[in-house]
Structure 1
Amino acid sequence: MLVLSRKPGESLMIGDDIEITVVSVTGDQIKIGINAPKHIDVHRKEIYITISDENKSASAGVSNIAGLLKLPPK
């Protein structure tokens, strides 16, 4: 894990097109701003895990692509 120190108003870049900015620091709470292209999903980790788990559950009942598409096997 890379650990960086930033002050409010300072940023860091991830690749060429994702910018993370420290908006404010109050006590033990840090507010950050994320500027990323619209095609990149940004989620809190707990939400990301929930989405991932739901996707795995939804696909568990499908044994093959033919079943998913409801096409007769060739």
Structure 2
Amino acid sequence: MLVIRRREGEGFVIGASIEVDILEIDGNQVKIGIRAPRETTILRKEIAATRDVNLASAQQAEEAVVEETLKRLRLSPKLPLE
């Protein structure tokens, strides 16, 4: 892991296409800005961990259970639009 110190207004680059700027430091919180190509996925670490757990759980679901759930969803009454 690379550890660098940056002050407010400073930044760094990752590769040729990602820029990270330190926008604000307030106590123990840091606000950063990230410039990256649209196709680059940027997620908070806890969101990425939740996604990985959900994907792993979904892959373990039995096919019959998935098919039954899809069947029930197709037969459920449509909710009125608000």
The corresponding residue for 2:31 is 31
Listed as ranges, the gaps of 5+ residues in structure 2 are: 64-82
Report how many residues are paired.
63
Runs of 4+ in 1 over 3 A off after TM superposition: none
Higher deviation after alignment, 2-11 or 42-51 = 2-11
TM-score scaled by structure 1? 0.77
Q: Could you list the runs of 5+ residues in structure 1 that have no partner in the other structure? A: 64-74
User: How far does the alpha carbon of each residue in 1:29-62 deviate from its partner, in whole angstroms, 9 at most, with x for none?
Assistant: 1110111111111111000000111111111236
Rg (Cα) greater in structure: 2
- The Cα RMSD (Å) is 1.4
TM-score by length of 2: 0.70
Same amino acid, percent of matched pairs:
40
